[in-house]
Amino acid sequence: MFAKFNNITFFLIILVFSCKTSTKENSSNQEDKMEFIITSPSFQPGDLIPRKFTCDGKNISPELNWKNTPANTKSLALICDDPDAPMGTWVHWVIYNLSPGINSLAENLPNEKHLSNGAEQGINDFGKYGYGGPCPPSGTHRYFFKLYAIDKPVDLKGGVKKSNVLSAIQGHVIAETELMAKYKRQ
């Protein structure tokens, strides 16, 4: 009888230990799944960008949202570009020094050098501050909204180019995420 009790006790101990280990593994897996991600309520990844966000529409910036910004982030930078442009990658938007506490950009941000949320906007390839929507000369183009989590503020004044921001954040990017959508003029 004592041997049966020991076997049952041993079985229960193994069962309890297995449950605790499984719970820890599930918790760890959930943390791994909490990746830095950018989305838009206006379009899904790989879908067509609605006309209102393009040169054929209102040419306003889309709403963007992100989550799971790494804990040690000191600033965020966003670059939107089109690698399918005939003359090489075309820059549509450069914005940086976004506070790590910010997790979205509203639709239709003003095209100003300095934003009220403390962020700075650079010069796009249209030669203007802020967002310039898709306006491909022909065919379907891809537009990448790339968000960078950075371990320090970007030490640049507003009005710089994409290359300046990329140089300033080199070696300081903690994480990055991107949202790609397409546009074809009708």
| One domain, residues 25 and 82 | no
Query: Measured between alpha carbons, how far apart are the two ends of the chain, in Å?
Result: 83
| One domain, residues 18 and 63 | no
Residues of the chain with confidence (pLDDT) below 50 = 1-2, 9-32
Q: What is the pLDDT of residue 4?
A: 53
Q: What is the pLDDT of residue 20?
A: 43
Q: What is the pLDDT of residue 159?
A: 87
Q: How far is CA 168 from CA 10, 50, 81, 154, 182, in A?
A: 60, 32, 18, 6, 28
In whole angstroms, what is the distance from residue 157 CA to residue 122 CA?
9
- Structurally, the chain folds into a number of domains equal to 2
Query: CATH code at 66?
Result: 3.90.280.10
8 Å CB contact between 84 and 53: no
| One domain, residues 83 and 19 | no
| One domain, residues 154 and 79 | yes
pTM for this prediction:
0.82
8 Å CB contact between 48 and 181: yes
Q: Which domain holds residue 16?
A: 1-33
